[in-house]
A and B are shown apart, each in its own frame.
Chain A
């Protein structure tokens, strides 16, 4: 019988890293923690109702894109999500989950932002180098199929408990669509447009920024939406390592078998999910598409 102690090897590697690269991990911890805390305080700084109004206006402006603001057409396409945002957030405020909601938004935005900052350039790179694509693709598959609970263990070892290991696990889980969809979007840009641009003497850089990225934008933005939704889906799991917010409320509800707590926080996550999904989906709709339909 051959015995392969794969688990032991990974454990040793993780321990070695945490012992020898602690400065690096401490730096990351400080950075992420600073971002989350900062954003959280910023979101909690204004009056709750003022913040609801701000978020409603953001929802309105994002989903009415393509129409002139404050016209009939704009209202027609944006009224649903705007009203939903106001009512949903008021409900959360009245139930007493305002702080948790803002914490969760801060966690998601920081995770998603970091995932995009890493994922989009990686996607661009793998779209231009087939060899890189060959290597990155299975890594992404691995990241997406490994149960997210497994990331939590090294995350705790490297980053102890709290928001930071939660954010790191969330980044790992939500990164793949940013890479995949950026890669796909750029590869799917019509070849004749790329050829024409080359024929006019584009450098690689000009080709990327003037042609490929603008044309791949809808696909890349679909990736942004996916990253945010996956980040949201990690909030409960991340709370197991101490991340705060609505996820933690749900987790407490599970541990205490407190149906009321679990349900209220769960509804809160759903409301956030709908808000974030609609708003970020609208990113992908260009001005032109809408005006053509009118």
Chain B
């Protein structure tokens, strides 16, 4: 069963939300509802399932309702309809007291503008959640020091938060959220207020931290690159609706509609698309023991290629051979293709999980294709230059043809 289950969740702001709800049922749009009732639809019938231990990112532009959605999880905003079920408990139905306990123990939050207490020191800020629970001072400060160490702020425990840079303040925010040992972390545009270098660094560190702590993290962002980098799964929101949910690769390769397609068009795909999805699977290969130069040449001309991988026993990848070398061997009457095979120094093998961005530099070093191997070094595919380029620019063949017609020079 999933950790958090959101069903038909709606938030409507305004006094006449009952009327607005009726209109919503009739399928009226956000603008129509606003015009007729003066109510703003924040979230429209959102459905989500979030698994334990995953980083789930909700991505959308400002006004898409993503922050509102997040605030329904701990009821900082009261939903007007639908349910949020966490571990079998419907959060929308619990009492004030239960809600407080829930916020104290189970789900904490990190804010875009940090929301730290400026009149307190770092350690006292981090200990705030425990203080609210009524934990005694020695215990909570000890715990705070531990968590501060985890987020890499050792030595700053007794500084005032105002003396720290933005990145450091957000570490305090993160430490505060971790100090109560919650199961779920809500992160509302947590890194958006930081400058780009610090943001990247914090993203890396969050991922490293997640390896250690295994929390269920709900991360809100307007930055697609951030979403793709952090998210195990991503939901894309527009005008209060969730338009698509899926893994980063699914979203890039199968955008649900034009909106998502337009979104992912300019994204840096290289880090997400992997060798596995651009390679030619089960390529024909030269077998080192059985095939001589003649057989190799025939295989290459059949496949219409100028080089081919060489495999040993059990399909283990050994190297590449080129057609002109094979011709030379044939002319000289040589048999053993191992002598003319390109191996280690000239040849690189990658796994199917290697991102495309890391493949590009490898091509600089060689004019051979790249071999894709599994954990036993068995050959499973070949990546050629053109498919990497095609993937990086994210255009389809037909689009490329059009660009050629418009921008190319007739010869």
Contact = CB atoms under 8 A, between A and B. Distances in A.
Interface of A: 190, 192-193, 195-203, 206, 210-211, 214-215, 217, 286, 288, 292
A196 B101 contact: no
B214 to A, nearest CB: 21
B313 to A, nearest CB: 60
Given A200-B132, A201-B132, A215-B119, A192 B74 contact: no
Q: Closest 5 interchain pairs by CB? A: A196-B115, A201-B104, A201-B103, A199-B109, A192-B115
Interface size class of B (residues with CB under 8 A): 20 to 34
Given A193-B116, A193-B117, A215-B119, A199 B132 contact: no
Given A201-B101, A203-B100, A196 B119 contact: no
Nearest to B133: A201
Nearest to B120: A214
Interface string B102-123: 1111001101111111110000
A185 to B, nearest CB: 13
Contacts of B102: 201
Contacts of B117: 193, 197, 210-211, 214-215
Contacts of A215: 117-119
Contacts of B168: none
A193 B162 CA distance: 13
Contacts of B128: 197, 200, 210
B109 A202 contact: no
A199 B74 contact: yes
Interface of B: 74, 76, 100-105, 108-109, 111-119, 128-129, 131-133, 160, 162-163, 176, 180, 186
B383 to A, nearest CB: 47
B111 A195 contact: yes
A210 B111 CA distance: 19
Contacts of A199: 74, 76, 103, 108-109, 111, 186
B115 A195 contact: yes
A197 B108 CA distance: 10
5 contacts: A200-B103, A200-B108, A201-B103, A210-B128, A210-B131
| Chain B CB within 10 Å, residue with most, of A190, A199, A211, A215 | A199
B61 to A, nearest CB: 21
A201 B100 contact: yes
A288 B162 CA distance: 10
Where chain A touches its partner, the secondary structure class is helix
Given A199-B186, A211-B117, 9 more contacts: A192-B111, A192-B113, A196-B109, A199-B74, A199-B103, A200-B108, A201-B103, A215-B118, A288-B160
A202 B103 CA distance: 9
A288 B118 CA distance: 10
A198 B76 contact: yes
Contacts of B119: 214-215, 217, 286, 288
B66 to A, nearest CB: 16
B163 to A, nearest CB: 8
Nearest to B107: A199
B91 to A, nearest CB: 13
Contacts of A286: 119
A39 B238 CA distance: 68
A200 B163 CA distance: 23
B115 A193 contact: yes
Contacts of B105: 201
Contacts of B176: 200
Contacts of B129: 200-201
B115 A202 contact: no
A292 B118 CA distance: 13
A196 B163 CA distance: 20
B248 to A, nearest CB: 28
A246 B129 CA distance: 53
Contacts of A200: 103-104, 108-109, 128-129, 132, 176, 180
Contacts of B115: 190, 192-193, 195-197
Contacts of B180: 200
A210 B134 CA distance: 13
Given A201-B100, A215-B118, A288-B160, A196 B111 contact: yes
Contacts of B100: 201-203
Contacts of B101: 201
Contact of B76 (A190, A195, A203, A206): A195
Contacts of B133: 201
B166 to A, nearest CB: 14
Contacts of A203: 100
A200 B118 CA distance: 16
Nearest to B102: A201
Contacts of A217: 119
A222 B190 CA distance: 35
A217 B117 CA distance: 13
A199 B132 CA distance: 11
Given A193-B115, A193-B117, A202 B74 contact: no
B307 to A, nearest CB: 59
Contacts of A198: 76, 103
Contacts of A292: 163
A206 B113 contact: no
Nearest to B108: A200
Contacts of A190: 115
B260 to A, nearest CB: 30
| Chain A CB within 10 Å, residue with most, of B100, B101, B162 | B100
A149 B158 CA distance: 53
A283 to B, nearest CB: 15
Contacts of B116: 193, 196
A186 to B, nearest CB: 14
Contacts of B108: 199-200
A199 B185 CA distance: 11
B125 to A, nearest CB: 10
A203 B128 CA distance: 13
A83 B115 CA distance: 43
